[in-house]
Each structure stands twice: as structure tokens, then as C-alpha cells.
Amino acid sequence: MTGPLNRCSAAFGETEIDGEVVLLSLADGTFFSLTGTAAEIWSLIDGTHTRDALISALALRHDAVEAEIAPDVDAFLAQLIKAGFVTAG
């Protein structure tokens, strides 16, 4: 994942309720609920952030070590990619 991360808006419906982002897969009707850091990561997937830039932004915001948060971010991005919600350029 070296290029910018992009949302595949044709693959999901999205709404936000009280800080929770709810995604509906248009392929199979599965709902995904994103809160906390997951919702924050989702907001950073805007076509301009690469994986590394996203991790750097999160580390800075949360005073965290990039190497420590990277595995969790990678796992979450993998889920979004598998669901068809995100592509990595």
C-alpha cells in the first residue's frame, strides 16, 4: 500500500450518527460500525493520504509510536479493502 487510499463510494452507503460512522455494503447488506479510532481512520481515507501518511497523522494526534500502531492500522485497512470499501493506489 504505497499509493493514496481511496474510498470506493459505489460499494457502500454511509451515514454518521452521534460520532459513529455506519457503512452499509451494497453488495451484501452487511453493516459496519466505526467508532473512535476506526472512525478517525475512515475520515483520513480521502484520496490524499497513503498508508504511511495516515499512520503518521494518527501517531501525531495520539502521541503514539508509529511502529506500535501500524499493525492495528494495517489490519483495519485490510478489512476495509476486503469489504471493497477502500482501494490502495
Q: What is the pLDDT of residues 40-57, one digit of tens each?
A: 999 999 999 999 999 999
Counted domains in the chain: 1
Residue 68's alpha-carbon distances to 3, 10, 49, 50, 81, in angstroms, are 21, 33, 19, 18, 21
Residue-level pLDDT at 1: 65
Residue 74 lies in a domain: yes
Residue 21 lies in a domain: yes
Angle in degrees, 0-180, between the axes of helices 36-44 and 51-62, rounded to the nearest 10: 130
Instruction: List per-residue pLDDT tens for the chain, 89 residues long.
Output: 679 999 999 999 999 999 899 999 999 999 999 999 999 999 999 999 999 999 999 999 999 999 999 999 999 999 999 999 999 87
Residue 37 lies in a domain: yes
- 32 CB-contact burial (10 Å; exposed 0-12 / middle 13-18 / buried 19+): middle
pTM over 0.95: no
- Residue 68, Cα to own-chain centre: how many angstroms? 17
Domain range for 36 is 8-83
CATH number at residue 67: 1.10.10.1150
Distance from C-alpha of 59 to C-alpha of 51, rounded to nearest angstrom:
12
